[in-house]
Homo-oligomer: A and B are copies of this chain.
């Protein structure tokens, strides 16, 4: 009875550990080569298991891709969701920029997976883009518009401002190779400098004088 419980727990742990290993391997491969360019062979090898065993956990390539994407999308939305209407515009924008830069630094593969999916047409996340993503951008755009109306921010199209923040912060994950090539090769402070530069330009450009 007890044995059985332990054995079941052990089994569950194995399953969880393997699922995590697979998702991580899949993230790294899908993000680098896109859906079509990625191969299960490479993912399986990175996850340290045979291809059929990988398919035991995710029975098709597509379902694995979707699983990885879903995890990524949730992470991706979180920082924007945290932007509060009743906060100080400078603080809120600053915090958002920092959070996004932190994501680029700490989980660049997630950013690249998202970029790759969009580059390739976004077919797998059409619903996400037109649903939750558009909804939250609409909501936060209203907040920014209110700040502008209240004179707490200089006039700017809120959606394009959000695009600017997305683009500039994600650039350090998605275009990492280019960034490294242009900067002194082992500039480990690049994320801090990036964050400062973006915050400075955006805030100086938008805060009232």
> Any chain B CB within 8 A of the CB of A33?
yes
Chain A positions 100-155 with a Cβ under 8 Å from a chain B Cβ: 112, 115-116, 118-122, 126, 129-130, 133-134, 137, 154
Complex interface: stretch among A5-13, A16-24, A50-58, A164-172: A164-172
Copies of this chain per assembly? 4
Complex Cα distance A82/B7, Å?
A: 57
> Any chain B CB within 8 A of the CB of A89?
no
Find out whether the CB atom of B194 lies under 8 angstroms from the CB atom of A163.
yes
Complex Cα distance A205/B201, Å?
A: 5
Name the CB-closest residue of B to A160. Answer: B197
Number of residues on chain A facing chain B (CB within 8 A): 59
A201/B119 contact (C-beta < 8 A), A34-B36, A36-B37, A182-B134 known:
no
Chain A residues touching B, majority SS: helix
Name the CB-closest residue of B to A197. Answer: B160
A119/B129 contact (C-beta < 8 A), A159-B182, A163-B179, A171-B167 known:
no
> Any chain B CB within 8 A of the CB of A206?
yes
Find out whether the CB atom of A154 lies under 8 angstroms from the CB atom of B204.
yes
Q: Chain B residues with Cβ under 8 A from A99's Cβ? A: none
7 extra A-B contacts, CB within 8 A, seeds A32-B121, A164-B197, A209-B209: A115-B175, A118-B175, A119-B119, A133-B181, A164-B198, A167-B175, A204-B206
